[in-house]
């Protein structure tokens, strides 16, 4: 097998790429939205609100859609979650608000809360009018490191309170994983950047891209130059497999590949193998596996070391992958990656068993041919750029309920904090709560 055998671009006819990466869910029409909104019971003690990490008043926004007021509905959504448009596309509603829906319990068919949320927020964004305004300037300045969901949510709420915000992000574009880390078919038509533009429409927020903490910025300097600092830099590293052959060509980080795919203008120029193996059981594993298949890979297999009940990816996402032709094998862990001429040719796996909560190999192995192997077993946090100014817990930044760190002027949120949920919607809530805490600090400090 030649070193680059099986890895090539342009596997499919040009028109097939556009079809494969079209919007995963067609938006609801006005009539469809009205019919779906009419299914809501408008529960007084709505469990869907409790299930939403940002606490959106779901019965209220659905009632406003039913009344023919989608823009007012969007305002209700965005009051609680300024990134309601993206969350409507990527949030695992099937395990959050829709799972808690009374109709789900009664009929097994919940109200389509996510699609209704998209209907409303899209209606408002189409107009382009920012429904929020900056308060009178306070003269206080806040620095935000990381222009992802947590940082953007924090910035918008701070701007509403009249504080001047400067955001710094290491990448060329803002939006974090919404831009670089989710499947392309979930947010088509450059939605991540359009949402950023919408958020910035409030005014009072500046973004400087290409600025990384520890390289171009120091936390010590930021705390001296600004009245408060919010850290929302996410998780920059990727966990390694820790097996022989991991450095072979064809062994890729799933996040890096997804980022490249999201930034590629011509998908026909993106190289992909014929036989793909993905290691992991979360959303990133699903996203890279499905997109590999949509790029023209013939055989795509996800390997997860535990049983299906432990997979972080929702059942809906697992079903989506399998309907696209992806195989999911449980109870298998990588033992070695095998190569020839410096390139991966196969992966040797070992079956696992779990006893009393502990996972162990059985000694029985399975060999799967592969010309590409994707690592999707979680990301890692790099605490070195913090300069020891804030305490860590469980390898990430330690915060309290208000997202305050151990340092007086520093808050944090999103994937970089200990206990973070690794969800866009949770990151938005972190940013919102931190902004309210920062505002209290800035307006009451002597």
Model pLDDT for residues 303-332, shown as the tens digit of each residue: 999 999 999 999 999 999 999 999 999 999
pTM (two decimals): 0.95
For the chain, give the number of residues.
Answer: 446
Dihedral in degrees, nearest 10, Cα atoms 188, 190, 61, 199 = 160
Dihedral in degrees, nearest 10, Cα atoms 114, 115, 121, 127 = 170
Question: Rounded to whole angstroms, how far apart are CA atoms 55 and 48?
Answer: 9
Question: Rounded to whole angstroms, how far apart are CA atoms 440 and 300?
Answer: 51
Residue 237 has what pLDDT?
86
114 and 28 Cβ atoms separated by less than 8 Å = no
Token duo for residue 340: 């020839």
Question: Rounded to whole angstroms, how far apart are CA atoms 45 and 162?
Answer: 34
Angstrom distances, CA of residue 137 to CA of 134, 157, 166, 241, 444: 8, 13, 14, 50, 15
Say how far residue 120 (Cα) sits from the centre of its chain: 21
Name which of 17, 84, 5 is nearest 294 in CA terms.
17
Residue 193 has what pLDDT?
97
First to last CA, the chain: 71
Phi and psi at 291, nearest 5°, equal -70, -30
Residue 3 has what pLDDT?
43
Residue 422 has what pLDDT?
86
282 and 312 Cβ atoms separated by less than 8 Å = yes
Are 14-20+238-379 and 141-236+381-444 in the same CATH fold?
A: yes
Task: Provide the 10 A C-beta neighbour count for residue 391.
Answer: 14
Question: Rounded to whole angstroms, how far apart are CA atoms 162 and 165?
Answer: 9
CATH topology of domain 38-127: Fumarate Reductase Iron-sulfur Protein; Chain B, domain 2 (1.10.1060)
Question: Rounded to whole angstroms, how far apart are CA atoms 65 and 129?
Answer: 18
- The domain ranges of the chain are 14-20+238-379, 38-127, 141-236+381-444
Residue 377 has what pLDDT?
95
Task: Select from 3.40.50.620, 3.40.1350.10, 3.40.50.970, 3.50.50.60 the CATH code of 14-20+238-379.
Answer: 3.50.50.60
Question: Rounded to whole angstroms, how far apart are CA atoms 6 and 182?
Answer: 25
Residue 137 has what pLDDT?
96
Residue 128 has what pLDDT?
83
What does DSSP assign to residue 92? Answer: -
- Residue where the block lists tokens 């779990």: 354
Residue 65 has what pLDDT?
98
Residue 197 has what pLDDT?
96
The burial of 2, by beta-carbon neighbours within 10 Å (0-12 exposed, 13-18 middle, 19 or more buried), is given as: exposed
Residue 445 has what pLDDT?
62
Does domain 141-236+381-444 bear CATH number 3.20.20.100? no
Kindly give, in sequence order, each residue whose CB lies less than 8 Å from that of residue 109, ignoring residues fewer than 6 positions away: 103
Q: Flag residues of the chain having pLDDT under 70.
A: 1-5, 445-446
What does DSSP assign to residue 416? Answer: G
Structural element, H or E, at residue 345:
strand 343-355
Instruction: Provide the β-strand partners of residue 397.
Output: 392, 417
Question: Rounded to whole angstroms, how far apart are CA atoms 73 and 50?
Answer: 18
Beta-strand ranges (E) seen in 119-210 are 141-145, 164-169, 205-209
């Amino acid at each position: 097998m030649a070193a680059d055998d099986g890895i090539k671009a342009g596997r499919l006819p040009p028109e097939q790429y556009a079809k494969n990466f079209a919007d995963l869910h067609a938006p609801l029409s006005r009539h469809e939205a009205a019919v779906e909104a009419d299914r809501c019971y408008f529960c007084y003690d709505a469990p869907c609100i409790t299930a939403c990490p940002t606490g959106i008043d779901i019965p209220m926004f659905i009632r406003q859609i039913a009344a023919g007021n989608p823009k007012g509905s969007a305002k209700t959504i965005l009051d609680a979650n300024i990134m309601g448009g993206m969350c409507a596309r990527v949030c695992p509603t099937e395990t959050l608000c829709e799972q808690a829906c009374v109709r789900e319990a009664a009929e097994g068919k919940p109200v389509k809360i996510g699609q209704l949320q998209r209907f409303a927020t899209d209606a408002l964004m189409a107009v382009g009018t920012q429904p929020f305004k900056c308060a009178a300037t306070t003269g206080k300045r806040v620095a935000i490191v990381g222009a992802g969901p947590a940082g953007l949510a924090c910035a918008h709420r701070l701007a509403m309170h009249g504080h001047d915000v400067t955001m710094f992000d290491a990448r060329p574009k803002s939006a974090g994983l919404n831009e670089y880390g989710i499947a392309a078919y979930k947010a088509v038509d450059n939605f991540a950047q359009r949402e950023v533009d919408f958020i910035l429409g409030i005014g009072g927020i500046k973004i400087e891209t290409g600025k990384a903490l520890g390289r171009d910025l120091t936390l010590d300097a930021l705390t001296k130059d600004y009245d408060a600092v919010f850290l929302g830099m996410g998780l920059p590293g990727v966990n390694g497999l820790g097996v022989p052959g991991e450095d072979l060509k064809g062994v890729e980080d799933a996040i890096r590949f997804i980022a490249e795919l999201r930034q590629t203008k011509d998908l026909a120029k993106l190289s992909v193998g014929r036989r793909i193996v993905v290691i992991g059981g979360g959303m990133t594993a699903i996203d890279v596996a499905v997109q590999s298949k949509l790029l023209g890979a013939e055989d795509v297999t996800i390997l997860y070391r535990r049983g299906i009940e432990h997979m972080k990816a929702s059942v809906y996402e697992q079903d989506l992958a399998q309907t696209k032709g992806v195989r999911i094998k449980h109870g298998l862990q990588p033992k070695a990656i095998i190569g020839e001429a410096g390139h991966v040719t196969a992966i040797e796996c070992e079956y696992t068993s779990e006893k009393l909560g502990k996972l162990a190999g059985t000694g029985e192995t399975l060999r799967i041919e592969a010309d590409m192997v994707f690592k999707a077993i979680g990301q890692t946090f790099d605490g070195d750029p913090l300069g020891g100014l804030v305490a860590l817990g469980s390898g990430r930044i330690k915060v309290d309920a208000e997202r305050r760190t151990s340092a007086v002027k520093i808050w944090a949120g999103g994937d970089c904090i200990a206990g973070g949920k690794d969800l866009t919607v949770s990151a938005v809530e972190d940013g919102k709560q931190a902004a309210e805490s920062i505002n209290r600090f800035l307006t009451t400090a002597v």
